[in-house]
Amino acid sequence: MRMSKMFSKTLRETPQTDSKGYGLLVKAGFIKQMGAGIFSLLPLGFRATKKIEAIIREEMENIGAEEILMPLVNPADIWKETGRYYSIDKELGRFEDRVGRDMVLAMTHEEAVTDIAKDEIDSYKRLPLLVFQIQTKWRDDPRPRAGLIRVREFTMKDSYSFDKDMAGLEKVYNDHYKAYFRIFSRTGLPVIAVGADSGMMGGKVSHEYMYLNPIGEDTIIYCDKCGYTANRQVAKFKKEYKKEEMLPIEKIVTPETKTIEDLSELLNLPKSKMAKAVFMVGTFIDDKSGDEKTKLIVAIIRGDLEVEESKLSNAAKANSIRPAQDEEILECGMVPGYASPIGAKGNCMVIVDDSVAYSANLVAGANEVGYHYKNTNFKRDYDGEVFDIASAREGFICPECSSPLISSKGVEVGNIFQLGTRYSEKMNCYYQDESGRQIPVVMGSYGIGVGRLLACLAEEYGDDKGLKLPITVSPYEVHLVSLLKETELADKIYDELKRAGVEVLYDDRKESAGVKFADADLIGIPIRITLGNKSVKEKKAEVKLRANDEVISYELDHIVESVLDEIRKEKKRIEDNIVEKTLD
């Protein structure tokens, strides 16, 4: 491609953005924002995206997946069948067509693919099956941010597996686990796989692929010693308890002590001797009718711990939860600031963290302004369902080996789910087994955010001068920069490189050397050939590697072969680092 003919150009000024990588992508002319969380891919960004997609295709086909393309617009009926039309809130794009039929902008394709599969799959002889697509999704996120990291419209690779039993699902799940590591390492992105919450997808086992970086919005808890890793939403840790005899409950005067901090100070007791009440309101939606109910959720946790919202939401089996208002708490007979489930009434449910359930003689609110109880005990003084709803933090104890846990921020670039029969049962996707019985198909679903992957690569590979994407995902392999007045030589080398199958960006613009070099650094094509008066006179050309800014001088007569060799070396560097990992 001749730069003089390129559709987009680079910016002189660095846009001020929340993340370095986003700023570079904008400055280098890879992407352009059109609205909140809505981006266009410009030629360079689109080429990089296609490189990523090609790697994904290869690896998906390697595990036997076939590519399909399903529609972005789905009839709402299939989303009503699974109940997600009701259980997912505003994130799901909805509209009516001209005759008033409810339509959905698909944010994922379990419904669509199951709708197709149920007609295809009639016998166990048809299983297993595996399909994937690379397609646009719409998710109306309440708050898009950080450029391509969190957007509303995005490209996703999603694959769906159909098996006759769990053993089959586990095999294809494992295939994905392995393929994903190959995909990410072939693009050059370092990731780790972590145990995760299955969220709106349902199902049981799931892993997320995380790129560890402070710009991430997920928190990963991991253990250096034994390798335990999990998203904080589900991370476990070891809680320690002291055994004590139960003492009689006692009401005490505690004026102006609404927080655990204050209470701990006033009574001169550690926070671990308190039972903290956290109030949320859960929304519960009936999958069949779409009817909504709300209920106050009273979460009781030891004062030194904090509630993990996703764990609480799962424990309560709520579709969503939000913090409660004071009035809602009072309605159920509890007093904000001095609250406990002792005397709770009305439309509420009590969920008790095991930290409280197995501790004795905790201080809790008396549901009366200015008073608390000493020596409260679960079961004796109040009841509730026991769950682990505590949030794991750095320094807490590893559930597997008892070493201190570490926390880190991460960006989720992929996920894999064992769905089981949730969708097949609801959408009537059954097969007939050897003995003639109708059995629900066992499904899995697997995603990779293509644009987000590019955003993460921009974050990982760049410096103050610009991007330096690995050759496997870089929009071009070679950047030919000519500083010569005459165009013949550069044109000739450009043609020869193209003929040799090299993807080459040719800076044929009438710009100063400084501008050309600055743009070359910014776009960051891995191999740069410079044709300048001095070196050309000596029958040489300079080759500079963007990765480490190393400069090599090559004979002009053999420049094409030399460059082909450099390309091979760059590619080998990535191949040598392909990560092969399997689920144990």
522 is a contact residue toward RNA (CB under 7 A): yes
513 is a contact residue toward RNA (CB under 7 A): yes
Pick the stretch among 157-165, 334-342, 411-419, 558-566 that binds RNA (CB under 7 A). Answer: 334-342
Both tokens of residue 26?
């904008």
Both tokens of residue 114?
């199951």
CB-nearer residue toward RNA: 185 or 257:
257
Pick the stretch among 141-149, 346-354, 498-506, 554-562 that binds RNA (CB under 7 A). Answer: 141-149
Helices (H) and strands (E) in the chain, counts: 16, 29
CB-nearer residue toward RNA: 83 or 526:
526
100 is a contact residue toward RNA (CB under 7 A): no
Alpha helix stretches (DSSP H) within 15-144: 20-27, 43-62, 76-82, 84-87, 110-120
Both tokens of residue 501?
């199958």
531, 536, 539, 545 alpha-carbon torsion, rounded to 10°: -30
Number of residues binding to RNA, judged by CB under 7 A: 62
For tokens 């991430």, the residue is 216
Name residues contacting RNA, limited to 482-501 (CB under 7 A): 483, 485
For tokens 């449910």, the residue is 349
Question: From its phi and psi, is residue 29 left (phi > 0), alpha (psi between -120 and 50) or beta?
Answer: left
287 is a contact residue toward RNA (CB under 7 A): no
CB-nearer residue toward RNA: 455 or 520:
520
Question: In whole angstroms, how close is the CB of 152 to RNA at the nearest point?
Answer: 9
544 is a contact residue toward RNA (CB under 7 A): yes
Question: In whole angstroms, how close is the CB of 315 to RNA at the nearest point?
Answer: 13
Q: What is the DSSP letter of 363?
A: E
260 is a contact residue toward RNA (CB under 7 A): yes
Please select the residue that binds RNA; options are 159, 530, 562, 567, rule is CB under 7 A: 530
CB-nearer residue toward RNA: 299 or 457:
299
423 is a contact residue toward RNA (CB under 7 A): no
CB-nearer residue toward RNA: 166 or 547:
547
Please select the residue that binds RNA; options are 519, 546, 563, 566, rule is CB under 7 A: 519
How far apart CA 156 and CA 73 sit, in angstroms, is 15
Question: In whole angstroms, how close is the CB of 441 to RNA at the nearest point?
Answer: 36
Ordered DSSP codes for 349-364 = EEEEEHHHHT--SEEE
Contact status, residue 72 vs residue 106, Cβ threshold 8 Å: yes
36 is a contact residue toward RNA (CB under 7 A): yes
How far apart CA 149 and CA 413 sit, in angstroms, is 9
User: Which H, E and C letters describe 369-387, residue by residue?
Assistant: CCEEEEEECECCCECCEEE
Contact status, residue 66 vs residue 130, Cβ threshold 8 Å: yes
Binding site for RNA (CB under 7 A): 10-13, 15, 18, 33, 35-38, 142-146, 258-261, 276-279, 299, 301, 306-307, 309, 322-326, 329, 336-337, 339, 365, 391, 465, 483, 485, 512-515, 517-522, 530-536, 542, 544
